[in-house]
Amino acid sequence: MTNTNAKHKQKMNKKEKIKFILDTLEKLYPETPIPLQHKDAYTLLIAVLLSAQCTDERVNKITPTLFKQADTPQKMVKLSFEQIKEIIRPCGLSPAKSKAIHGLSEILINEHGGLVPESFEALEKLPGVGHKTASVVMSQSFGHPAFPVDTHIHRLATRWGLTNGKNVTQTELDLKRLIPMEHWNKAHLQIIFLGRQYCPARGHNIAECPICSVVGCKEIKK
């Protein structure tokens, strides 16, 4: 870290830090394509559900096969649990995920006319759909302000001193409080992109990270 960056870091208050982070993210990632391949709200919902404890890269290798057979709730319920489980096995947790995919597809047909509901409350009632998954669908499919926080965003927000790092729920509240709402939907993807490129969990080089090198880095205690 240069002396200039060190001085900059020491003088930076929370408001200045947020502005610097958002400005840097916008310069690095002006475009934010959704990492998970999908074509509509339903396929995004399934892809996000599959991404739990699995990389986006692996999910994107599996979903073309799954969606070729079933890319709507009506088609999905025609597959058996075993058929779904076999296709999604490489994503891990396949028994639970296949049950959730089949179950939520039935609910979408029976209670929502075969459509993904545009509501946090309704989404979070679906099997296998937690707040983070609902937030991704609400923000990326429907354009509602949301800040999905996964372990990567949680790690970076803690490193940058934007949250106390206790849990993802607290991190989401802290980031929503600090970052203007109009930036939420884009910023959460930008932070994920930066984490993958410059700020990994292991082998993190502070000097090479465009944000940590300026705002400082508080490592998470193992």
> 199 versus 221: which is more confidently predicted?
199
Count of the separate structural domains present in the chain: 2
Query: What digits encode the pLDDT tens for the residues 2-58?
Result: 444 444 445 678 889 999 999 999 999 999 999 999 999 999 999 999 998 899 999
Position 152 pLDDT exceeds 60: yes
Under 8 Å between Cβ of 137 and 116: yes
The verdict on whether 132 is a catalytic residue reads yes
Q: Which are the contacts of 33, defined by CB distance < 8 A and separation ≥ 6?
A: none
Name the active-site residue from 150, 218, 221, 222.
150
Q: From 106, 140, 174, give the residue that closes a domain.
A: 140
Q: Is the dihedral of CA 3, 175, 26, 19 positive or negative?
A: negative
Under 8 Å between Cβ of 163 and 171: yes
The verdict on whether 40 is a catalytic residue reads no
What average pLDDT does range 177-193 have in this prediction?
95
What average pLDDT does range 135-163 have in this prediction?
93
**Tokens, residue 22:** 């958002």
Q: Please report, for the domain that includes residue 199, its CATH number.
A: 1.10.1670.10
Q: Is residue 221 part of a domain?
A: no
In 3-state terms the chain splits into helix, strand, coil percentages (rounded to 5) of 65, 0, 35
Rg, the chain, Cα only: 19
Whether residue 26 is found in the same domain as residue 8: yes
Query: What digits encode the pLDDT tens for the residues 116-136?
Result: 999 999 999 999 999 999 999
**Tokens, residue 56:** 């986006």
Name the active-site residue from 17, 85, 97, 132.
132
Q: Could you tell me the residue range of the domain that residue 22 belongs to?
A: 3-33+147-215
**Tokens, residue 100:** 């959730």
